[in-house]
A and B are shown apart, each in its own frame.
Chain A
């Protein structure tokens, strides 16, 4: 299961995480985000040993979306050691996300 992040627990769950984290910035109203949702779930399951994968609803959590300059959704941002390691805007399919994940895990 993909985790749900909020403005309140973002520091604890994302920035302080021991493992790298991928955050899917999304909203209910956004069609491409809906198309991305099952892929995010699938990846969360497939990479659960190595990585934390979760979602942040930008309508409910505007602080973090604003802080990281998210202006288009879906946007995924990968965090490693409390820093942004990479990001991708627009749903690029499972392969696109896996490329990012492998890059941040050093599995390329």
Chain B
């Protein structure tokens, strides 16, 4: 039987894999169908220590993957669809195939939330977009709307300033949640206009997006705006669907961990550890995720050293 299975391939998962592989635990990682996590959709990461000029999100993740492989981590590009974590033998299903291990690290991260408004799904790829780095150049000299007020929305708006004619940032509050440096850049950019206290209600079009309907949540006033594109960046939710009957979650669906020494990353089930955005409802940074991934690998190593477990 394997010692350790890691589920997820963001900074937490890869860091856990590097540490576990170096500890000779021969970890098996399920990276999901789309490996690399949220940073794969990011342009330049400016706050990863040791990269003064910044680093492309996708390049950073590819490097981490190669680093984990170099030390002997095995990676399968499949999504885990079912788990059975009770007892000493953990069972992990990828499709119909089942894998067993003594310990598991959950690092499945978070996935983008969609608003659920009319037109959102229908026009995905036809004016509705979720990755500004990927799709911004299709909106040269066009008018676009970015929905959200956090770092992701700020980054999307700034990415779009290189191409689009004008960018409206639609935010339901009266101040941005984004970090100060990002908020400042957005507010100082002449191409970006922020629509405060405003919510997206509907996306309208025939073949592709033509208009959106927005509402000011203070006055209740609704307006239809002509646009070519809508970039969704409202936030994320933890990817814990397959764990909800297995591990203790908090009220927002994040995995609960011990959060105290020793064994910070210990979950409600023995031999199962969790790290990164699937746990962290507060900091949600690449570095904090990586740090937790390291802790999870060390916690798992300690657990595995105990022959009785």
Interface positions of A (Cβ within 8 A of B): 27, 29-35, 39, 58-59, 65, 69-75, 89-96
Contacts and interface: CB of A to CB of B under 8 A. Distances in A.
Nearest to A96: B33
A89 B138 CA distance: 14
Nearest to A95: B33
B149 to A, nearest CB: 23
Contacts of A75: 125
Interface of B: 33-36, 39-43, 56-58, 61-62, 77, 79, 124-127, 129, 131, 133-135, 137-138, 207-208, 229
B208 A27 contact: no
Given A32-B131, A35-B40, A65-B138, 11 more contacts: A31-B57, A32-B40, A34-B40, A35-B34, A59-B137, A72-B131, A75-B125, A92-B33, A94-B33, A95-B33, A96-B33
B134 A72 contact: yes
Given A31-B40, A32-B131, A93-B34, A71 B57 contact: no
Contacts of B135: 71-73
Contacts of B229: 71
Contacts, number: 79
B58 A31 contact: yes
A32 B33 contact: no
In the A-B complex, the 8 residue pairs with the smallest Cβ-Cβ separation, listed nearest first, are A93-B33, A89-B125, A31-B40, A31-B58, A30-B134, A72-B125, A71-B138, A72-B135
Contacts of A58: 137-138
Nearest to B61: A31
Contacts of B124: 72, 89-90
Contacts of B40: 31-32, 34-35
Contacts of B126: 69, 71-72
A69 B127 CA distance: 10
Nearest to A72: B125
A89 to B, nearest CB: 3
A32 B134 contact: yes
Contacts of A95: 33
Contacts of B134: 27, 29-33, 72-74
A69 to B, nearest CB: 7
B33 A91 contact: yes
A72 B79 contact: no
B34 A71 contact: no
A31 B125 contact: no
A72 B123 CA distance: 11
